[in-house]
């Protein structure tokens, strides 16, 4: 296969650096461009350029048309740019700063990499993805098959925490648990009833488990005590996302992932409102990936009564976050 180009925007940060390290190890990637507003990104690029993998690694800041050079020709762009949470903050508190960053980067993608697959990591994902979508729409280059909010960390946490509850932490990779909804607190809905292999967890144990998955990020924010939020586990999750997308789109290996997408313009997207009983424009759901990006939105599948309850709790918050992101995206153009 032809080697592709990946760009990481926010590559000098806590997530960006390890994500760039992992991206540079993907054998399908021939070039990784690292973009950040801080000059230290050049050091990160110099460091990673010595790896003996297939990828050539280059660093860019805003100087000398850096964003243009970083994005031109990129097949995949991952965005961990922006501020992370501090103790006591919700993801929503980040919106003011990160929404503008996302709008500016989306404008750059529209101008220099309009066909790229985009993975938005910057929080609050429930709102920043709508900012991306509205910006790309306004520039006339939006393709719903190619824009994703990265929710993989919720899936990674689900596998690990379920395995821990079962007293088998070493067996985490064996548990596949779909996570639907959004990427923030109560909007994160782990569908434990669809776990593969099946698990039997109920009552208080289930409540505690679900709460831990929904608020797992807070454990890290608290433990880092002011020094940021999850970075290494997010880089690991971001790399899983990127590897699945690259293999599906460029290496003829279709896969199923869950990510937060814009439903109205996706095949199968319309059916989700029947599955969840509400017409939402954005939702994290299972996606069949193939050569064109999202080939099909897959049904939510049967939910337990408990999970239906989680869904009812999630929808108002999700709705409000979407309205906020769409409003910002439309008004600031
Ligand atoms: P960080 O502060 O360590 O790194 C962010 C980087 O973005 C910095 O290097 C900064 O200079 C850069 N940046 C700021 N403005 C930029 C711009 N306009 N263009 C390019 N780069 C820019 O933060 P960290 O910990 O890496 O987190 C990044 C984002 O990811 C935060 O919004 C955080 O909330 C989010 N996050 C998302 C998760 C998810 O599951 N989707 C999980 C954990 C964090």
Q: In the structure encoding, which two tokens stand for residue 258, read together?
A: 């869950």
Distance CA 211, CA 78 (A): 28
Residues 37 and 86 reside in one and the same domain? yes
Residues 172 and 295 reside in one and the same domain? yes
pLDDT tens, residue by residue, 113-170: 999 999 999 999 999 999 999 999 999 999 999 999 999 999 999 999 999 999 999 9
Catalytic residue among 28, 42, 50, 183: 183
- Is 32 strand, coil or helix? strand
Q: Give the model's confidence band at 1: pLDDT under 50 very low, under 70 low, under 90 confident, else very high.
A: low
Residues 135 and 175 reside in one and the same domain? no
Distance CA 258, CA 67 (A): 29
Give the end of a domain, one of 133, 151, 169. Answer: 151
64 annotated as ligand-binding:
no
Instruction: State in Å: Cα 325 to ligand 1 middle.
Output: 18
13 annotated as ligand-binding:
yes
pLDDT value for 2: 86
- Locate the ligand 1 atom nearest the alpha carbon of residue 125 and give its number: 41
* ipTM score for this prediction: 0.99
**Residue 282: closest CA among 168, 183, 216, 210:** 183
pLDDT value for 192: 98
Residue 188 has pLDDT above 80, yes or no: yes
End-to-end CA distance of the chain: 38
- Tell the residue nearest (CA) to atom 31 of ligand 1: 84
16 annotated as ligand-binding:
yes
Residues 142 and 209 reside in one and the same domain? no
- Is 180 strand, coil or helix? strand
**Residue 138: closest CA among 171, 183, 107:** 107
Q: Where are the alpha helices (DSSP H) in the chain?
A: 16-23, 41-48, 66-71, 95-112, 125-138, 152-165, 203-214, 216-224, 232-250, 272-276, 305-331
329 annotated as ligand-binding:
no
Domain residue limits at 45: 4-151
Phi, psi for 222 (deg, rounded to 5) = -65, -45
The residues lining ligand 1, judged by C-beta closer than 6 Å to any ligand atom, are: 9-10, 12-16, 35-38, 80-85, 94, 98, 101, 104-105, 121-123, 125, 150, 153, 183, 228-231, 234
pLDDT over 70 percentage in the chain: 99
Residue 3's CB is within 10 A of a number of other CB atoms, namely: 15
For the segment 45-64, the average pLDDT, to the nearest whole number, is 97
Residue 333 has pLDDT above 90, yes or no: no
CATH number at residue 112: 3.40.50.720
pLDDT tens, residue by residue, 291-326: 999 999 999 999 999 999 999 999 999 999 999 999
Residue 332 has pLDDT above 80, yes or no: no
pLDDT tens, residue by residue, 248-283: 999 999 999 999 999 999 999 999 999 999 999 999
Q: Give the model's confidence band at 226: pLDDT under 50 very low, under 70 low, under 90 confident, else very high.
A: confident
pLDDT value for 14: 97
Residues 45 and 9 reside in one and the same domain? yes
**Residue 132: closest CA among 116, 151, 148:** 148
**Residue 25: closest CA among 3, 52, 45:** 52
Asked if 42 and 110 count as a contact pair (C-beta separation under 8 A), the reply is no
The DSSP bridge partners found for residue 258 are: 286
- Counting the structural domains of the chain, the total is 2
Give the end of a domain, one of 136, 151, 166. Answer: 151
Distance CA 116, CA 110 (A): 9
Residues 165 and 133 reside in one and the same domain? no
Give the end of a domain, one of 151, 184, 202. Answer: 151
pLDDT tens, residue by residue, 67-97: 999 999 999 999 999 998 878 888 888 998 9
Instruction: State in Å: Cα 80 to ligand 1 middle.
Output: 4
Instruction: State in Å: Cα 83 to ligand 1 middle.
Output: 5
Residue 5 has pLDDT above 70, yes or no: yes
């Amino acid at each position: 296969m032809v080697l592709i180009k990946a760009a990481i925007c926010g590559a000098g940060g806590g997530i960006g650096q390890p994500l760039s390290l992992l991206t540079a190890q993907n054998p399908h990637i021939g070039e990784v461009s690292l973009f950040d507003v801080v000059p230290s990104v050049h050091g990160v690029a110099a460091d990673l350029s010595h790896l003996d993998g297939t990828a050539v690694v280059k660093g860019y800041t805003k100087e000398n048309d850096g964003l243009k050079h970083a994005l031109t020709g990129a097949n995949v762009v991952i965005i961990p740019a922006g501020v992370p949470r501090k103790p006591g903050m919700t993801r929503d508190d980040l919106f003011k700063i990160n929404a503008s960053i996302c709008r500016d980067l989306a404008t750059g993608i529209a101008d220099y990499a309009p066909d790229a697959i985009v993975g938005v990591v910057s929080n609050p994902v429930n709102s920043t993805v709508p900012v991306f979508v509205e910006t790309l729409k306004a520039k006339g280059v939006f393709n719903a098959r190619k824009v994703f909010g990265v929710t993989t960390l919720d899936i990674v946490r689900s596998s690990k925490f379920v395995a821990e509850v079962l007293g088998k932490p070493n067996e985490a990779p064996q548990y596949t648990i779909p996570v639907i909804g959004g990427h923030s607190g109560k909007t994160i809905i782990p569908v434990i009833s669809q776990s593969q292999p099946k698990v039997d967890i109920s009552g208080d144990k289930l409540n505690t488990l679900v709460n831990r998955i929904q608020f797992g990020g807070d454990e890290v924010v608290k433990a880092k005590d002011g020094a940021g939020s999850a970075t290494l586990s997010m880089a690991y999750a971001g790399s899983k996302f990127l590897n699945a997308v690259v293999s599906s789109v460029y290496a003829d290996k279709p896969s199923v992932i869950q990510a937060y997408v814009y439903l109205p313009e996706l095949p199968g997207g319309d059916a989700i409102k029947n599955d969840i009983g509400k017409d939402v424009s954005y939702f994290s759901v299972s996606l069949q990936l193939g050569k064109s990006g999202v080939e099909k939105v897959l049904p939510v599948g049967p939910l337990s009564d408990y999970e239906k309850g989680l869904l009812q709790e999630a929808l108002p918050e999700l709705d409000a976050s979407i309205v906020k992101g769409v409003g910002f995206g439309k008004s600031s153009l």
